[in-house]
């Protein structure tokens, strides 16, 4: 499934076979004193692939995501990212300027609460334009045109370009956050419960949008959620976490349809049926 | 008139030494905000405590001192600071820009070009140009260290999207020597072109915020802008009503309650000097 996805994605050259992983994680661990945040996590993420991480609250999903995104320093392990310039590099041994540069260009981070990822005092256009200006765009007309284009892509009326995010609904704020993150054409997107706190119809619309963007742009995504429906829809592969450890991983459909670990079975059977 | 109970120029020598060290560091790293142990001064914050400490630290008994407040030598702030140094340092004072060796200023750069050997001391309320966009000091320091100045352009972007042009008219941010983005204190953006390549030493003191920064002589200070919205040092489109000057920064003065107004030079010394040389505006006495 992954391969077909990558090849059919428009605007992207087919990766040379066999493709090198975009993100390669080995034996990642982070403890808070005696308490384990996450331990012994390892996986490879290939270009164009969407990886879901599920688990209950406190299972270490967000800790893992923060470690991957360079926001939290893990205690051990390595996170190797295939950079555009220098090839595979361990982000944990990178200097801070390099890491921050990565997080402005090749990476994106979509927060659960749009307020954490947006500048609430700045207009929608300014929010989208910030990353462009951060990487050196200095032409107002072009920045604004790009911002308007991206607002259109995330289905926000372009007449709202000069409104502040505070005047937007929750779903619009989340879509604005996504536009703001994707405007510099990142290759790897981290998402922390992107649909949390939204009502179901808005969730469905957002998921639909996300799925379209991921396929069109050939993004690689690490998505953390406790909502199995979200990963079923978006993720190619799935990792199930419990108490800081990965208890099961594999293709999404395989894990969800034929869960092996007792916890995964519990998780799958706990989904409410309408 | 010097009051002997005070050390020369009020501050004790150890404090001056500390301030001078900060000044030297500031000159060595143009535009970088150097922290210093700002002292309690006998005037409230916002009245130029930072500038006064810098002036006190660089002042010698041979100096001739001038103070400007919004371009004028005779406003409260200027008068009280001038008196302060007359009493505590006994230095000669002047209102003439050419004659002064140390000039403390609030909100203006004199119209008369400064020369080598002069020191211009600015009073700075908020030294951090990124403060209103990023409230965390830890974060703004990191942004300076890593030269992450995209946010500064977000502010200018917001200006254009709201007003159609860059509406920031004072405290217009500059990039110093291609490195640090600096708040030039609340001078009108009309004065920004005078910041760069100036022959004088320019020192900036923020007392409450405890920061000193500097522009060494002849260093570059480039006003930030967009390619399609270039920097424009605008001023009121009038000649001075008193001296007829076409290229000085003007204050609008209301003259009656029937809508009458005149535009006069904000730099009083410049205006008076021109009038003494025989230049006359339309409302000159």
pLDDT of B68 above 90: yes
Measured between CA atoms, how close is A185 to chain B, in angstroms? 17
SS3 of chain A: helix, strand, coil, percent, to 5 = 40, 25, 35
The mean pLDDT of B8-27, rounded to a whole number, is 96
Q: Do B157 and A133 touch (CB under 8 A)?
A: yes
By CB atoms closer than 10 A (0-12, 13-18, 19+), residue A19 is: middle
Contact call for A140 and B228, based on CB within 8 A: yes
Check pLDDT > 90 for residue B12: yes
Reference B178, options B202, B155, B196; nearest CA is: B196
Q: B151 vs A134: CB contact, 8 Å cut-off?
A: yes
- A131: closest CA of chain B, how far (Å): 7
**pLDDT value of position B4:** 66
Tokens of A137: 């765009």
CA-to-CA dists, residue B227 to A137, A146, B151, B157, B231, angstroms: 9, 16, 16, 12, 9
Cβ–Cβ gap A144/B158 under 8 Å: no
B260 is catalytic: no
pLDDT confidence of residue B140: 95
- Reported confidence tier of residue A6, pLDDT bands at 50, 70, 90: very low
Q: B13: distance to nearest CA of chain A, Å? A: 40
Tokens (6 digits) for B198: 């100036």
Average pLDDT of the segment spanning A5-9: 44
Q: Which of A96, A130, A139 faces B150 most closely, judged by CB atoms?
A: A130
> Mean pLDDT over residues B45-57, rounded?
95
B134 near A CB under 8 A? no
Tell me which residue in B133, B157, B227 faces A129 most closely, judged by beta carbons.
Answer: B157
**pLDDT at position B6:** 81
Task: For chains A and B, count residue pairs whose Cβ atoms are closer than 8 Å.
Answer: 54
Average pLDDT over residues B144-152: 92
Confidence class of residue A1 from pLDDT cuts 50, 70 and 90? very low
Mean pLDDT of chain B: 93
Q: Judging by DSSP bridges, how do beta strands B261-265 and B250-254 pair with one another?
A: antiparallel
CA distance A20 to A43: 13
Q: Find the residue in B nearest to A133 (Cα).
A: B150
Give which of B139, B156, B161 to mutate to test A binding, by max A Cβ within 10 Å. Answer: B161
Q: Which of A119, A133, A144 sits opposite B153 (nearest CB)?
A: A133
**Counts of helices then strands in chain A (DSSP H, E):** 11, 10
Tell me the chain A residues in contact with residue B229 when contact means C-beta distances shorter than 8 Å. Answer: 140
pLDDT in tens, A184-220: 989 999 999 888 878 888 888 888 888 898 888 889 9
- Taken in order of first residue, the domains within chain A and their CATH numbers are 21-100+222-274 (3.40.50.300)
Question: What are the backbone angles phi and psi of residue B234, rounded to the nearest 5°?
Answer: -80, 160
Q: Name the residue with tokens 């942004």.
A: B143
Which residue in the list B31, B48, B50, B51 is annotated as catalytic? B31
Chain A nearest-CA distance from B160, in A, is: 8
Q: What's the gap in Å between the CA of B131 and the closest CA on chain A?
A: 13
- The ipTM of this complex is 0.83
**What would the two tokens of residue B234 be?**
């605008």
Q: Do A143 and B157 touch (CB under 8 A)?
A: yes
Q: What is the reported pLDDT for A145?
A: 96
- Among residues B148, B192, B144, the alpha carbon closest in space to that of B168 is found at B192
Interface with chain A: mutation pick from B142, B152, B157, B167, highest number of A CBs within 10 Å: B157
Segment A40-43 long-range contacts (CB within 8 Å, at least 24 positions apart): A40/A245, A40/A246, A41/A77, A41/A245, A41/A246, A42/A77, A43/A239, A43/A246, A43/A249
Banded pLDDT at A81 (limits 50, 70, 90): very high
pTM: predicted TM-score of the whole model, two decimal places: 0.85
Which of chain A's residues have a Cβ under 8 Å away from the Cβ of B148? 100, 134
């Amino acid at each position: 499934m992954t391969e077909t996805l990558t090849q059919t994605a428009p605007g992207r050259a087919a990766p040379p076979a066999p493709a090198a992983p975009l993100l390669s994680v080995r034996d990642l661990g982070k403890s808070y004193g005696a308490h384990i945040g996450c331990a012994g996590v390892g996986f490879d993420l290939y270009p164009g692939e969407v990886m879901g991480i599920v688990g209950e609250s406190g299972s270490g999903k967000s800790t893992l995501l923060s470690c991957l995104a360079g926001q939290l320093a893990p205690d051990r392990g390595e996170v190797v990212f295939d950079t555009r310039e220098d090839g595979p590099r361990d982000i944990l041994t990178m200097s801070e300027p390099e890491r921050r540069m990565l997080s402005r260009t090749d990476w994106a981070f979509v927060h659960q609460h749009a307020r954490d990822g947006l500048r609430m005092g700045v207009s929608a256009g300014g929010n989208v334009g910030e990353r462009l200006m951060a990487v050196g765009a200095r032409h107002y007309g072009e920045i604004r045109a790009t911002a308007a284009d991206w607002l259109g892509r995330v289905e926000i009326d372009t007449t709202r370009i000069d409104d502040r995010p505070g005047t937007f609904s929750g779903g619009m704020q989340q879509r604005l956050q996504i536009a703001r993150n994707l405007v510099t054409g990142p290759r790897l997107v981290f998402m922390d419960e992107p649909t949390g706190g939204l009502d179901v119809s808005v969730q469905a619309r957002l998921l639909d949008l996300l799925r379209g963007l991921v396929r069109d742009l050939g993004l690689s995504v690490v998505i953390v959620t406790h909502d199995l429906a979200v990963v079923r829809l978006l993720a190619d592969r799935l990792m199930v976490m419990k108490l800081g450890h990965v208890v099961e991983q594999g293709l999404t459909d395989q894990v969800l349809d034929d869960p092996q670990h007792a916890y995964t079975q519990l998780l799958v059977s706990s989904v409410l049926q309408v | 008139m010097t009051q002997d109970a005070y050390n020369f120029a009020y501050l004790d020598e150890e404090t001056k030494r500390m301030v001078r060290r900060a000044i030297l560091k500031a000159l060595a790293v143009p535009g970088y905000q150097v922290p210093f142990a700002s002292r309690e001064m006998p005037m409230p914050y916002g009245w130029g405590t930072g500038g006064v400490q810098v002036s006190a630290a660089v002042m010698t008994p041979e100096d001739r001192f001038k103070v400007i407040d919004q371009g004028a030598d005779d406003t409260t702030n200027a008068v009280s600071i001038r008196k302060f140094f007359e009493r505590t340092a006994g230095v000669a004072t002047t209102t003439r820009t050419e004659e002064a060796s140390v000039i403390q200023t609030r909100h203006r750069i004199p119209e008369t070009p400064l020369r080598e050997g002069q020191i211009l001391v600015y009073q700075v309320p908020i030294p951090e140009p990124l403060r209103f966009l990023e409230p965390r000091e830890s974060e703004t320091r990191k942004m300076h260290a890593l030269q992450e100045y995209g946010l500064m352009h977000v502010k200018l972007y917001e200006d254009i999207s709201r007003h159609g042009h860059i509406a920031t008219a004072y405290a217009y941010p500059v990039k110093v020597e291609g490195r640090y983005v600096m708040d030039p204190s609340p001078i009108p953006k009309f004065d920004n072109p005078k910041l760069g390549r100036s022959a004088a030493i320019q020192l900036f003191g923020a007392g409450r915020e405890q920061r000193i920064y500097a522009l060494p002589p002849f260093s570059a200070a480039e006003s930030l802008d967009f390619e399609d919205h270039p920097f424009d040092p605008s001023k009121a489109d009038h000649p001075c009503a008193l001296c007829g000057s076409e290229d000085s920064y003007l204050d609008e003065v209301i003259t009656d309650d029937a809508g009458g107004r005149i535009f006069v030079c904000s730099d009083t010394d410049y205006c008076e000097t021109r009038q003494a040389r025989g230049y006359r505006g339309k409302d000159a006495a």
